[in-house]
Structure 1
Amino acid sequence: MQRFSLIIFLILILNFQTSYGQSSSELKKRKDAINREIESLKKTRSNVDKNKKLSLTQINLLNAQIKLREEKIGTINSEIKILNNKISTNSSEVESLQSDLSRLKKEYAKMVLFAFRNQGSYNKLMFIFAAENFNQAYMRLKYIQQVGRFRKSQAKYIVTTQVTLKKQISLLDQNKKNKSDLLSDQLTEKETLGKDKDQQSKILSNLTKQERTLQQQLAKKQTEASSLSNAIQTAIRKEILAEQRKAAERTRLAEKARLAKLAAAKANAKPTAKSPAPGTAIKPAAKATSGSSVLASSPEDAKLSSSFMGNRGRLQKPAQGIITQGFGSYKYKSNVTLFNSGINIKTAAGAPVYAVFEGQVSQVFMVLNNYAVMIRHGEYFTIYSKLKSVNVSAGQKVSTRQTIGTVANDPAEGISEMQFQIWKGRNPIDPSGWVR
C-alpha cells in the first residue's frame, strides 16, 4: 500500500508539472514574440531617427516599445510565479522521496538482519519442522520464500527511488537557475524601460519646444482623422437610409399581401357572412426602424451580424505587423488630445491587407492621397485605411482573409502603417477586443 501511494503521488506530480510546463512554454513563446517585435520597432525607430527630424511617429513608436517592454515584464513575472510553484512542488517531492528512502533503508536493514540470522539451511529447516501441522509447515515455507523475494524487490525499489530523487534534485536546481536568470532579465528590462521613458519624455519635451513643427504634425493628424471619420459616417448614413427604404418597402409589400389575402377571403365567404363595416381603417405600414438596428433588419444581415459578433476575439489582424497605437485618446500637449478610432499596425511597405471577415464592400474612398476600404458585416463595419492600392470595389462580396489591398508608405515619416477600425452602426468600437 505504501508503494502504491507513492506511485500515485508521482503520477500526480508528473501531471502537475506537465500542465505547468505547457503554460511556461506558452509564456516563453510570447516572450520570444515580444522580443522580435521590440527589435523590429528599434530598427524602425533607428530609420526614423536618421531623418534628424522630431515627429509624433517617434513618440508613437517609442510608446509601442514601452508597452511591449511592460508586457514582457508581466510575462516574466508570470514565468517566475510558475517557477515558484514548480520549486515548491519539487521541494515537497524531494522531501517526500528522502523520507521514503530513509524508511525503505531501515526496513531493508531489518530484513537483511533477519536474513543474516536465518541464513543457514539448518535454521530454516528447524523453523519449518517446528510447525504444529503440515499446513503450518507449508505456510512457513511460503513465508520464507516471500521474504526472500520481497527483500530483492525492496532493493530494486530503493535504487529506483534514489534515481527518482536524483532527478528531482536536478530539476529543482535547474528551476532555481531559471528563476535566477528570469530575475536578471526582469531587472535588465526594468532598467531599459526606465531609459525608454526618459527618452520619451525628452523627445516630447523637444517637440513641445518646437511649437510650430508640433502644431503642423498635430494638424495633419487631426485633418486625417476628421476626413476619415466624416467619410465613414457619410457612408454609414447612406447605408442606414438605404436599409430604411428597403425595410419600409418590405413592410409595404407585406401589408399589401395581407390585404390581398383578406380581400380573397371576403370574396370566397358565404353571403350570410358579415362584411366589414364601411369606412374601416386600413392598418398603416409599420414605421421603419432607425439607427444600427435597421442594418440587421433582414434575415441575411441579422445572421451575418450574429456570426461576426460570435467571432469576437478570434479575428486575425488585417495585416502582419506590430500594433503601434491602440484605440482611445492620446494626449500630446496639455491642451491637445487626439482620438484614435481604431488601431495602427506597422508593417512592411506594400504588405497585403486582408478582410478580417466575410461581408460586402460598402465603399472605397480616398483620404489624403491614400485609399480606405469599408466592408459591411450586417450592422458592423470594418475599415482599412492608409492603403497604397485596392483590388476590390463597392458592392463586391469578399470572403474572410481575402486580399483587399496593400499598405502605403509615408515617405516623410519613413514608416509603413495601416489603420484598422470597427464600427457598430454609427459608433466606433475598440478593435483590440475583437482581434486575436
Structure 2
Amino acid sequence: MNKKLFYISFLCFLFSGMLGYAQTRKELENRRKKLNKEIEKVNDLLFKTKKEKTSALDDLKDINQKITVRERLIETIELETKELSKEIKSNEHKLNKLNNELTVLKDDYADMVVKSYKSKSQQSKTMFLLSSKSFYQAYKRLKYMEQYKNYRKKQGEDIALKSDEIQAVNDSLKKQKKAKELLITSEQKQKKEIEGDKKEQEGLVSKIKKQESKYKRELEKKIKEEKALAKKIDKLIRDAIAKANKAKKGKAKKDELLLSAEEKTLKANFEQNKGNLPWPVNGLITRKFGVQPHPTFKGITINSTGLHIRGKSGDKAKTVFNGKVLAVQLLSKGRKAVLVQHGDYITAYNGLKEVFVNVGQKVKTGDALGKIFTDKVTGKTDLGFVLFKNINRLDPSDWIENR
C-alpha cells in the first residue's frame, strides 16, 4: 500500500513538473509574440513616418527604443529555447523509459505465447483439470486458467497502449525540435538586425558629440517648453475644479472636487477598472511617466507628467472612460487640450489639432475627443496623456491595459 502511494505521489510530482515547464514556456511564448508586435509598431510608427527634417536627439531616442525592445526579444527567445531544451530532454528520458518498459512487456508476452503454444491442446487442459485431487483444486485450476488468459489479453492491450504512448512522445519530440530550430533561426535574425541598429546608434552618438552644445540647447529649450505646458495644465485644472465646486452646494477642500452622488459612483467605477482602461490612441509609448535621466546627456533629467503616445497621422484621441468634459484649452503652437472628469479623477489629452467636444458635454468610453496634431516637419503624431486625482498626477500606465 505504501509503495502504491509513493508511486502515485511520484507521478503527481513528475506531472506537476512537466506542467510547470509548459506554463513557463507558454508565458515566454506569449511575451515573444507581444515583443514581435511591439517591434512591428516601432518600425511602423517611428521609422516609416515621412520626415522633412529630423533631430539627431529624437532619432537616437527612437533607435534606442528599438534596440531595447529587440534586446528584450532576444533575451526572451533565449529563455524560451532553454525551457524547450528542458522539455526535449525530459521527453527523451521518458521515451527511453517507455521503450524499456515496452521491451519487458513484449518479452513477457512472447514467453506466455510460447508456454501457451506448448500446452495449447484441449487434451492438455482437460488432463490438467482431471488430474486434480479434489473438486476445490479443480476449481482453483480453472480460475487460474481464466486469469492466465485474461492476463495475456491485458498484456497485449498494454503493449498497444505503450506503443501509442511512445508514438505520442515521438510526435511531441519532433514538434519541439522543430520549434527549437525556428527559435534559433529567429534569434540569429534578431542578432543580425540589432547589429545594424547599433551601427546606426553609434553614428548618431558620434554626430551629437560633435555638436553637443547645439543639441543641449535644443534639449533645454524643449524641457522648458514642457515645464511651461505642465504649469499651464495645472492652472487649468485648479481653475476648472474651483469653477465646478462653485456651482455645487457644500464645502470642498482646496484643489479637490466636490462630488455629487452620481460622481461618487463614477469615481468608484473608474477605480474598479484600474489596469483595464483602453488606450486613448492605438499607438506606442515613446516616453514613460515620471522623472528619468536623459539617455544621452548625463546630469540632465526629464520630468514626464504623463505618457507620450505615438500614433499615425489622422488618429483621434478617445476618452478612456465615461465622464464629463471639464475644460478645453488652447495650448502653444495652436495645439489644444481636453480635460475629462471621472469623479475626482481627471484625464488630460494634450496635443490636439481639432476638438470635437464642448465643456460640460457627457462622453462615453471610446468617444472621439479630437484629432491629434501631426507635425509636418518631423512627421510625428504624438498625444500627451496625463492622469490626475484632483491636482495630483498619477502614472497612467498603471491604469491602462497592458499590451
User: Which secondary structure state, in structure 2, belongs to the residue aligned with residue 420 of structure 1?
Assistant: strand
Q: Decide which of 333, 346, 353 is 1:381's aligned counterpart.
A: 346
The equivalent residue for 2:289 is: 327
Q: Are residue 395 (structure 1) and residue 360 (structure 2) matched?
A: yes
**Aligned-partner Cα distance in 2 for 1:160–1:300:** 65
Q: Are residue 371 (structure 1) and residue 336 (structure 2) matched?
A: yes
**Aligned-partner Cα distance in 1 for 2:49–2:205:** 15
The equivalent residue for 1:421 is: 386
Whether contact under 8 Å (1:48, 1:58) holds in the other structure is: no
In structure 2, list runs of 5 or more residues that go unmatched. none
**Aligned-partner Cα distance in 1 for 2:297–2:77:** 33
Query: Map of 1:37-76 to 2, 5 A cutoff?
Result: 37-47=38-48, 51=52, 53-76=54-77
Whether contact under 8 Å (2:250, 2:258) holds in the other structure is: no
User: Which secondary structure state, in structure 1, belongs to the residue aligned with residue 354 of structure 2?
Assistant: strand
In structure 1, list runs of 5 or more residues that go unmatched. 252-287
Whether contact under 8 Å (1:346, 1:417) holds in the other structure is: yes
Query: Map of 1:132-147 to 2, 5 A cutoff?
Result: 132-147=133-148
The equivalent residue for 2:316 is: 352
**Aligned-partner Cα distance in 1 for 2:31–2:108:** 50
Superposed CA offset, 1:359-398 (max 9, x none):
1111111222222211122222211122222211111111
Distance 1:206 1:376, change over 3 A: same
In structure 2, what residue type is equivalent to 1:390? V
The equivalent residue for 1:283 is: none
Superposed CA offset, 1:231-281 (max 9, x none):
22012212443466567x425xxxxxxxxxxxxxxxxxxxxxxxxxxxxxx
Whether contact under 8 Å (1:327, 1:342) holds in the other structure is: yes
Question: Cα offset for 1:205?
Answer: 3.5
The equivalent residue for 1:271 is: none
Q: Taking CA–CA contacts closer than 8 Å with sequence separation of 6 or more, which of the two structures ends up with the larger relative contact order?
A: 2
Distance 1:16 1:319, change over 3 A: farther
Distance 1:106 1:7, change over 3 A: farther
In structure 2, what residue type is equivalent to 1:375? V
* TM value normalised by structure 2: 0.83
**Aligned-partner Cα distance in 1 for 2:266–2:96:** 59
Question: Cα offset for 1:72?
Answer: 1.5
In structure 2, what residue type is equivalent to 1:413? T
Whether contact under 8 Å (1:54, 1:207) holds in the other structure is: no
The equivalent residue for 1:202 is: 203
Whether contact under 8 Å (1:325, 1:345) holds in the other structure is: yes
Distance 1:196 1:9, change over 3 A: same
The equivalent residue for 2:254 is: 290
The equivalent residue for 2:230 is: 229
**Aligned-partner Cα distance in 2 for 1:312–1:385:** 21
Distance 1:387 1:422, change over 3 A: same
Deviates more, 1:47-56 or 1:158-167: 47-56
Larger Rg belongs to:
1
**Aligned-partner Cα distance in 2 for 1:165–1:229:** 66
Question: Cα offset for 1:151?
Answer: 1.4
**Aligned-partner Cα distance in 1 for 2:274–2:109:** 63
In structure 1, what residue type is equivalent to 2:321? F
Distance 1:311 1:85, change over 3 A: farther
Question: Cα offset for 1:193?
Answer: 3.4
**Aligned-partner Cα distance in 2 for 1:397–1:75:** 44
Distance 1:109 1:120, change over 3 A: same
Deviates more, 1:16-25 or 1:355-364: 16-25
In structure 2, what residue type is equivalent to 1:304? L
Q: Are residue 409 (structure 1) and residue 371 (structure 2) matched?
A: no
The equivalent residue for 1:148 is: 149
Superposed CA offset, 1:294-348 (max 9, x none):
3265444333333222222111211112222222324142354332222222221
Question: Cα offset for 1:406?
Answer: 2.1
Question: Cα offset for 1:410?
Answer: 1.0
Deviates more, 1:86-95 or 1:381-390: 86-95
**Aligned-partner Cα distance in 2 for 1:99–1:6:** 18
Whether contact under 8 Å (1:56, 1:217) holds in the other structure is: no
Distance 1:137 1:110, change over 3 A: same
Question: Cα offset for 1:399?
Answer: 1.2
Distance 1:137 1:58, change over 3 A: same
**Aligned-partner Cα distance in 1 for 2:228–2:38:** 31
How much identity, in percent, do the aligned residues show? 31
**Aligned-partner Cα distance in 2 for 1:50–1:403:** 27
Query: Map of 1:252-271 to 2, 5 A cutoff?
Result: none
Whether contact under 8 Å (1:381, 1:424) holds in the other structure is: yes
**Aligned-partner Cα distance in 2 for 1:405–1:19:** 47
Query: Map of 1:274-313 to 2, 5 A cutoff?
Result: 288-291=252-255, 294-295=256-257, 298-313=260-275
**Aligned-partner Cα distance in 1 for 2:320–2:77:** 31
Distance 1:43 1:319, change over 3 A: closer
Question: Cα offset for 1:189?
Answer: 2.8
**Aligned-partner Cα distance in 1 for 2:274–2:21:** 28
Question: Cα offset for 1:161?
Answer: 0.9
**Aligned-partner Cα distance in 1 for 2:399–2:176:** 36
Whether contact under 8 Å (1:330, 1:338) holds in the other structure is: yes
What RMSD, in angstroms, separates the aligned Cα atoms of the two structures? 3.6
Whether contact under 8 Å (1:389, 1:406) holds in the other structure is: yes
Whether contact under 8 Å (2:288, 2:304) holds in the other structure is: yes
User: Which secondary structure state, in structure 1, belongs to the residue aligned with residue 377 of structure 2?
Assistant: coil
Whether contact under 8 Å (1:317, 1:435) holds in the other structure is: yes
User: Which secondary structure state, in structure 2, belongs to the residue aligned with residue 153 of structure 1?
Assistant: helix
Whether contact under 8 Å (2:309, 2:383) holds in the other structure is: yes
Whether contact under 8 Å (1:304, 1:378) holds in the other structure is: yes
Q: Are residue 186 (structure 1) and residue 187 (structure 2) matched?
A: yes
**Aligned-partner Cα distance in 2 for 1:333–1:12:** 53
Whether contact under 8 Å (2:56, 2:207) holds in the other structure is: no
